[in-house]
Amino acid sequence: MTHPARAGLVVPLRLEARSLNKRYGAQVALRAVDFELAPGEAVAVVGENGAGKSTFSKILAGAIRPDSGELRLDGQLLELRSPREALRAGISYIPQELAYVPNLNVADSLLIGRWPNRLGFTTRAAVRKEAARVADEFGVELDVRRPVSDLRLAERQLAEILKALARRSKVIVLDEPTASLTKEETLNLFRVLRGLCRAGVGVIFISHRLDEVFEIADRIVVLRNGAAVADVPTAETTTAQLIEHMLGVAIVRAERDVQAETAEPSSTQLPTLRVIGYSRPGLPDIRNLNFELRRGEVLGLFGHRGSGADVVADGLGGRIGDFEGRIECGGKEFAPFKNPGEAKRAGIGYVPPERKRDGLVLGMSIDANISLLVLERVSHAGVINRHTEQRQATEWRNRLAIRSKSVKQSVESLSGGNQQKVMLASRLEVHPIVLVLNDPTRGVDVGARAEIHKYLKEEATERGTAVLWITTDAEEAVIVSDRLLVMRDGEIVGELRSAAKTQANALALATEEVASTAVAG
Amino acid sequence: MAGTLRSRLPSLEQTVINGSQLLGVGGFFIALLIFFSFRATHFAESSNVLNILSNVAVVGVVALGQAFVLISGGFDLSVSGTVPLGGIIYVTACNDHYNMYVAGGLAILAGIGVGLANGLIITQIKINPLITTLATLSIIGGLAFVVSNGITITLNNPNQAPLGLNFAGVQIAVWLLLALSIGMFLILRYTVFGRMLYAMGGNREAARLAGLRVDVVTTTVYMISGGLSCFAGVMLANQLLAGAPTVESAANLQSITAVIVGGASLTGGTGGIPGTLLGALVLGTVANGMTLMQVPTFYQEIATGAILLLAVGLGWVRGLVQHAVWKHSREDQIAQAAIAGVVEDVSPDLNPTGGG
Amino acid sequence: MGHNKRVRCGMGAAAALLVLLVAFAVAGSAVGARARTSNIPLNKLTFTFGSADDAIGIFKTVGDGMVADGKQLGISVTRFDNNLDGPTALRNAGLMVQDKPTVAIDWNTVVGVGNAVGATFTRAHIPCLAVNQQIKGCHWFNLSNEMMGLGAAHVIDPIAKARGWNGHNTTIVMSIAAANGREVNNGPRYFYVSTAKALPFFKQVTPESIGPETTTIGGTNGIQIDCKSTIDGAYTATKNIIPEIPKGNNILLYGSDDDCGQGSYNALKQAGFGNRILTGGLGAAPNGMQELRTDPNWVVEGALFLTNWAPYILSEAVAIANGQSTPPLTAAPQVMLTKQNVNKYYTGNNVKELPPLANNNQYLAKYGIIQKFGKIQGLNAK
């Protein structure tokens, strides 16, 4: 019951998991995983997609139950049958896709639902006061009266943490918390987390960003294929070693600009999209990007949040209008787009990342959303032809396997994956020359993700659409792209093709540490 | 299964939720009619019905324009200024021996101009609609006062007021309201422009990213609202045989109330013409009934406010009903939705690489 | 769209309702105009009365009187409130004709809509009686504001003259309610015209040239402010123009009613003109009466016996109901009260006696109504 790493210091464990097993039919999601967390400790859990991180955190969050194994909190055995029980026990889970009730303010959102004895507070004023006090205590700078919907993502996260604190949680699990934060916000978050640790709260931190993991974690646990393959104090390891553990293979040294032998001869065809001298000061500074994209090609653009990849996508989509440089699209030359209409007219179909906020009108029906970009096509002299619209939507429904009762259903009631498909359909319906996808499978279940991958690949290979696929998921980047560009801090730091197009190389390029030469293994 | 964790509402429940507000108002209206037929003398007579209709005509036309604005996510408070302006321009022009169609055209043009100003300020200078239209209201209201010297200008030639006359027993102004309503209903429901209004009101950024010219459409709806309000002012001048700067100071509140009673939300994206007409009828009926019951005027103002609250309240009830249909408790819902991104990764039968 | 069903549902309901209403209306309006009756017995008469504004005290008393006195006489009087608003007056006119009264009596303060209101009555063939403000096509009962202004000047000017006040050392301040039309503001208007003639060095102008937009006459000879019919409106507007009055000047002040006069008077007193003002009031409101009795500066008060108008108005309406032709303007009782004669007509704030009938309202005595409700000089009170 004591932690081996803290030699000489006998401290009862805050959280202890022994031999957690979970399988789904033939697949094993977790394989006899042991885990320990001391009070006031920050442990990072890393691993590639499919390694079992999410299964692990779901178990902690009470959403699923392990097939076998036990979980103890401060020595007490836990049988978590629901998320509410986990919360009540003192484990707070802060997800990547933050859920919130839009119109509540921070303080009131503390009262959501029937928390056990309403935290002991009876009036809103009391809650607000307590929220403010807690915020103060942990150095969280947040005006607790503001409505949650007003908050930026970073602030929402802090609000979630506040909620956890107000519940007097003992363990806080954060899932990819820095994915959408700026450098500053990240530092602020870490500061808050350190404060929590000092106060004895245990922090479990799931992340892809190895450089950050080194900043905040005391210990790092690496999962691979469902097993915990490493558990080391941060001070005693390196990024390269972590990557090795994560992938289980030796990595070849990757030079800065990796050129692999190309299997196909370079095409004499003019590129469908050429981006020249694309730059924009900001967060981060995007400096002089140059790349090109061919007909029927899927070009991946991979970078962690903050690398600028999503900003480039926004720029090409016309959402951000102050880029400099030149764009050649479909043989014509353009100045950087000032608004979405210009991009659309140039032949670019832009799929924004946050579908509910930016890509769909939730109150409207499926077919109305699908026709939103092509209203001229489903109408005649300004009058909408509902049959055409419905037919169009039905075709897409079949093509993309959108699960809904009818195309007249409002988009609000669909699941995330289906909503994503509707948004995709609306963009594809324009028959763009270039499709710019900004994180198109975020928050989408695995089944829908596979369907989307398949369809978009077809879109490229069969219909010849040039696809620029921006993603923060290295595995996805490698799977979908023919060629992969890696961005970091506003620059393209490498292009990976054929054999060199691997997760390891992508990760290495994206996280500033060049993989070390490994002995054959 | 992934989808069941986030409730998917069967369409019957959805219809009930959506219809509950309109049914609530419709039911209220019928209750009003019954109440007033018993308590107010002459209420149910045909001449009184005509009275109500001709009273409602003016605010009704304003409400039509306001409906477009509210659905697209905006607000037009300046209508309380454009209505009297329209009347004054019309009467002044007629008294200066302009042809009455020309006079009417001038008034409508003035309204369109005000709307253009509103639209440009909102889209280019980016001041929010509430403040912008409040400011233009002061300016236009003041302008109306200046042009008329603060007094009501009589229409010298009563033959230039055809809209106040009857056709087939009903005032022409009422027929115009009907015609305009039908036209705007068709536009809203069946045209690209109407669809764009709902999209912009529902999610302006999504509409913008979809390439819709949101600025142009916004300016256009304000121009429509301004033009219609000035035309309503012309209608009123035809009824009053005069143009007055002080009339219809509550036109903005009443038109917004009518549209909201009819199902619109303050943020946009919902609402429609039939509901708006119903809302205007409710307001007009209450005013008429209360006058016939000899209730003091200030109670009528209280009633208008109460009706607005009722409409907003029905909207809130609708929200409650919606939440009640969600079967999970709030806590579990949030907790589950919170981890939905993670949980949705779990599909036992798909993706051989396993969950997360 | 997801709202299809609801839109259709609502549209159906509302459209049905609208069509129903319109059909009902069209059908019903085919009924012909009512036949006119002319009954002598009072209890067979029904009147409607549109009050100027029941939220304002002095106007409310007239309405109260109409209903109460009418009831005593056996005449049913249905009451409406015009709220000082044109469209409301028009709507009320429409509702009045629905009642099919013997006579419609209407006090509409918005001059401009007079034509429309009158047309409503004319179309319905209902005889109408306009109170205070003329309505086209109706009989007319009113005080003469002009006589008030002249009467006030008649009392004030000799006092001013004796003090040596003239156009070089005095300003005439007119406090008017611009939105209420010409007639209502005739008091201050004729006050200026008359005073400018009576005292030296004042710029003389015709009454027609003084309009609601007039701000000054002859530099600082005359200053006109818009009191907006309220005490605070008068106060604020006057305060704003005080800088334009030469500090040492005397003030001759007259307002279109006691609220306007009082508000302006207070502002001027506060600004230090207190011992150099001569003023009077119009309307015999309680504050005016108080000032008349106690304030040395307030030397005249135009009494129009508003509280006693009801019997006069009722009488004229009865006359109209009986088919009697009436003079173009039937005068309301009015007299200029001074400190000397006030107690002849008033005990405290209550009317003791009314002035004698003049030429154009003599005929009212015939119906015995006005005598019932007040002591009128020259008539036997009951």
> Could you please report the per-residue DSSP string of B220-251?
HHHHHHHHHHHHHHHHHHHHHTEE-TTTTTTH
**Residue B218 domain-assigned (yes or no):** yes
- Tell me the pairing of strands A15-24 and C170-176: unpaired
Q: Please tell me the predicted confidence (pLDDT) of residue C281.
A: 93
**What average pLDDT score do residues C292-305 get?**
92
Query: What's the gap in Å between the CA of B219 and the closest CA on chain C?
Result: 24
pLDDT(A201) > 80:
yes
Judged by average pLDDT, the poorest of A338-352, A504-518, B33-47, C61-75 is A504-518
Contact assignment for B270 to C3 by CB distance below 8 Å: yes
Residue C13 has what pLDDT? 58
What pLDDT is attached to residue A9? Answer: 57
pLDDT of residue B21: 66
**DSSP assignment string, A119-145:** GG--SHHHHHHHHHHHHHHTT----TT
C350 contact partners, CB below 8 Å, separation of at least 6: none
Give the residue on C whose Cα is nearest the Cα of A363. Answer: C2
Q: A97 and B338: CB-CB below 8 Å?
A: yes
Would you call A365 exposed, middle or buried from its count of C-beta atoms within 10 A (0-12, 13-18, 19+)?
A: buried
- Position A110 scores a pLDDT of 57
β-sheet bridge partners, residue A365: A410
Q: Percentage of chain C surpassing pLDDT 90? A: 51
Q: What is the mean pLDDT of chain B?
A: 82
Q: Are C18 and B178 an interchain contact pair (Cβ–Cβ within 8 Å)?
A: yes
Whether B318 shows a pLDDT value over 90: the answer reads no
Most confident of A131-140, A378-387, A412-421: A378-387
Q: Are residues C284 and C215 in the same domain?
A: yes
Within-domain flag for C10? no
Average pLDDT over residues B112-123: 96
Q: How close is the nearest chain A Cα to the Cα of C4, in Å?
A: 9
Largest distance between two CA atoms of chain C: 85
Q: Where are the alpha helices (DSSP H) in chain B?
A: 2-5, 11-39, 46-71, 79-95, 100-120, 129-148, 172-190, 192-202, 204-209, 214-240, 251-261, 273-292, 297-325, 330-338, 340-343
Q: Superfamily assignment of A285-510 in CATH?
A: P-loop containing nucleotide triphosphate hydrolases (3.40.50.300)
Instruction: Calculate Rg over the CA atoms of chain A.
Output: 24
- Is the distance from CB of C103 to CB of C317 less than 8 angstroms? yes
User: Quick one: tokens of B221?
Assistant: 């709806």
Whether residues A363 and B335 touch (CB distance < 8 A) is answered with no
Distance CA B227, CA A189 (A): 53
Q: How far apart are CA B296 and CA B298, in angstroms?
A: 6
Question: For residues C225 and C237, is the Cβ–Cβ distance under 8 A?
Answer: yes
Q: Which residues contact C10 (CB under 8 A, 6 or more apart)?
A: B19, B22, B26, B262, B263, B272, B274, B275, B278
Does C324 share its domain with C271?
A: no
In this structure, the answer to whether residues C154 and C298 fall within a common structural domain is yes
When the pLDDT of each residue in chain C is averaged and rounded to a whole number, the result is 85
pLDDT reading at A84 higher than 90: no
- Nearest CA to A181 out of A139, A203, A153 is that of A153
Q: Looking at the complex, does the CB of residue C2 fall below 8 Å from at least one CB of chain A?
A: yes
Statement: residue A185 has pLDDT above 80? no
The two three-digit tokens of residue A71, written as one number? 């979980």
The number of folded domains in chain B is: 1
pLDDT for A27-64, tens place per residue? 778 899 999 999 999 999 988 766 788 788 888 888 88
For CA atoms A412, A417, A420, A422, the dihedral sign is: negative
Q: What is the pLDDT of residue A113?
A: 42
Tokens describing residue C255: 């307002």
Q: Are C271 and C165 found together in one domain?
A: yes
Q: What is the CATH number of the domain that holds C230?
A: 3.40.50.2300
Which other chains touch chain A, taking contact as 3+ CB pairs less than 8 Å apart?
Answer: B, C
Instruction: Write out the two tokens for B125.
Output: 């200078």
User: Into how many domains does chain C fold?
Assistant: 2
Nearest CA in chain C to A389: C1
pLDDT in tens, A486-506: 998 888 888 998 888 888 888
A182 Rama sector, left if φ>0, alpha if ψ -120 to 50, beta otherwise? beta
Q: Please say whether the dihedral angle defined by the alpha carbons of residues A385, A388, A391 and A396, taken in this order, is positive or negative.
A: negative
Q: Which is more confidently placed, A78 or A148?
A: A78
Same domain? For C131 and C244 the reply is no
Q: What is the pLDDT of residues C348-363, one digit of tens each?
A: 778 888 888 877 788 8
Q: In terms of DSSP bridges, do strands A171-175 and C330-331 run parallel, antiparallel, or are they unpaired?
A: unpaired
Paired strand residues for C336? C302
Q: What is the pLDDT of residue A462?
A: 82
Least confident of A106-115, A272-281, C89-98: A106-115
Q: Say whether both C183 and C81 belong to one domain.
A: no
Least confident of A372-376, B352-356, C88-92: B352-356
For residue A259, give both structure tokens. 């050129």
CA distance A471 to chain B (A): 16
User: How close B156 gets to chain C, by Cα (Å)?
Assistant: 9
Q: C2 to chain A: which residues are within 8 Å by CB?
A: 363-365, 408-410, 412
Structure-token pair, residue B344: 């949705």
Using a CB-CB distance cutoff of 8 angstroms, which residues of chain A are in contact with residue C1? 364-365, 368, 408, 410
Q: Identify the band that residue A104 occupies on the pLDDT scale cut at 50, 70 and 90.
A: low
B192 SS3 class: helix
Q: In angstroms, what separates the C-alpha of B1 from chain A's closest C-alpha?
A: 10
**Residue A504's pLDDT is what?**
80
Element (H, E) at C153: helix C145-162
Number of other CB atoms surrounding residue A512 within 10 Å: 12
What is d(CA C381, CA A519) in angstroms, rounded to the nearest whole number? 129
pLDDT, average across residues C227-242: 89
Tell me, yes or no, if C4 comes closer than 8 A to chain A by beta carbon.
yes
pLDDT digits (tens, 9 = 90+) for A224-252: 888 999 899 998 888 778 877 877 654 44
Whole-angstrom CA distances from B48 to B51, B176, C98 are: 5, 19, 7
Average pLDDT taken over every residue of chain A = 80
Average pLDDT of the residues in B8-19: 51
Using CB atoms, which residue from B192, B270, B349 is nearest to A379? Answer: B192
Poorest-pLDDT segment among A475-489, B19-33, B98-112, C35-49: C35-49
Asked if the bond preceding A177 is cis, omega within 30° of 0, the reply is no
Nearest 5°: the CA angle B221, B225, B226 is 115
In single-letter form, the type of residue at position A163 comes to: K
- pLDDT for the residue C176: 94
Burial class (CB in 10 A: 0-12, 13-18, 19+), B285: buried
Residues C139 and C156 in one domain: no
Q: How far apart are CA C91 and CA C108, in angstroms?
A: 12
Q: Which of residues 68-127 of B touch A (CB under 8 A)?
A: none
User: At B346, is the pLDDT very low, low, confident or very high (cuts 50, 70, 90)?
Assistant: very low
What mean pLDDT is predicted for residues C267-280?
Answer: 92
- Average confidence (pLDDT) over C81-86: 88
The reported pLDDT for the residue numbered B337 is 46
Distances (CA, A) of A93 to A83, A84, B37, B334, C69: 9, 11, 61, 11, 79
Residues of B in contact with A58 (CB under 8 A): 339, 342-343, 346, 356
Residues C248 and C149 both lie in one domain: yes
Helix, strand, or coil here: A38? coil
pLDDT, position A411: 87
Chain C residue with minimum CA distance to B27: C13
Place of tokens 């393209």: A492
- pLDDT tier at C2, thresholds 50, 70, 90: very low
Give the whole-angstrom CA distance, residue B241 versus residue B250. Answer: 20
Mean pLDDT lowest among A51-65, A112-126, A444-458:
A112-126
Which comes out higher in pLDDT, residue C173 or A472? C173
Task: Check C1 against A408: CB less than 8 A apart.
Answer: yes
Is the pLDDT at A96 greater than 70, yes or no? no
> What residues in C contact A412, CB-CB < 8 Å?
2
Q: Check pLDDT > 70 for residue C23.
A: no
Exposed, middle or buried by CB within 10 Å (0-12, 13-18, 19+), for A147? middle
Say yes or no: domain A15-247 is CATH 3.40.50.2000: no
Residue C6, in any domain of the structure: no
List the single range of A35-39, A448-452, C182-186 with lowest mean pLDDT: A448-452
Q: Please identify among residues 257-276 of chain B the ones whose CB lies closer than 8 Å to any CB of chain A.
A: 269-270
Of the residues C4, C6, C11, C53, the best mutation for testing chain B's interface (the one with the most B CB atoms within 10 Å of its CB) is C6
Predicted confidence at residue B261, as pLDDT, reads: 86
CB atoms within 10 A of CB C125: 12
Percentage of residues of chain B with pLDDT beyond 70: 83
CB-based contact B195 A384, cutoff 8 Å: yes
User: Best interface-test mutation with A: which of B208, B342, B353 has the largest number of A CBs within 10 A?
Assistant: B342
Average pLDDT over residues A389-393: 93
A6 pLDDT higher than 90: no
Structure tokens, C370: 């006005």
Q: What radius of gyration do chain C's Cα atoms show?
A: 24
Residue B202 has its nearest CB partner, among A29, A363, A403, at A363
Q: How many CA atoms lie within 13 A of C358 on its CB side?
A: 13
Rounded mean pLDDT, A5-11: 55
pLDDT above 90 (res A119): no
Residue-range domain boundaries for chain A? 15-247, 285-510
Domain shared by C247 and C262, yes or no: yes
**Residue B259: pLDDT over 50:** yes
pLDDT in tens, B180-239: 999 999 999 899 999 999 999 999 989 998 888 999 999 999 999 999 999 999 999 998
Based on the fold, state whether residues C64 and C188 are members of the same structural domain.
no
Q: Which residues pair with A291 in a beta bridge?
A: A275
C50 to chain B, closest Cα gap in Å: 11
Residue A92 has pLDDT above 50, yes or no: yes
CA dihedral (A387, A390, A393, A394) positive or negative: negative
Among C147, C105, C84, CA closest to C303: C147
What separation in angstroms does the CA of A128 have from each of A99, A132, A143, A502? 20, 6, 10, 50
Q: How far is CA C354 from the centre of its chain?
A: 18
Q: Please indicate, yes or no, if residue C291 is contained in any of the structural domains.
A: yes
Residue A221 pLDDT more than 60?
yes
CA distance A143 to A147: 9
Nearest CA-CA distance, residue B46 and chain C, Å: 5
The amino acid present at A498, given as its one-letter code, is S
Query: Structure tokens of A500?
Result: 């060199």
Q: Which domain holds residue B156?
A: 50-281
Confidence bin at A111 (pLDDT 50/70/90): low
- C125 neighbourhood in chain B, CB within 8 Å: none
Residue span of the structural domain in which C199 resides: 145-303
Assess whether pLDDT exceeds 90 at residue A296: no
Q: How many CB atoms lie within 10 A of CB A152?
A: 12
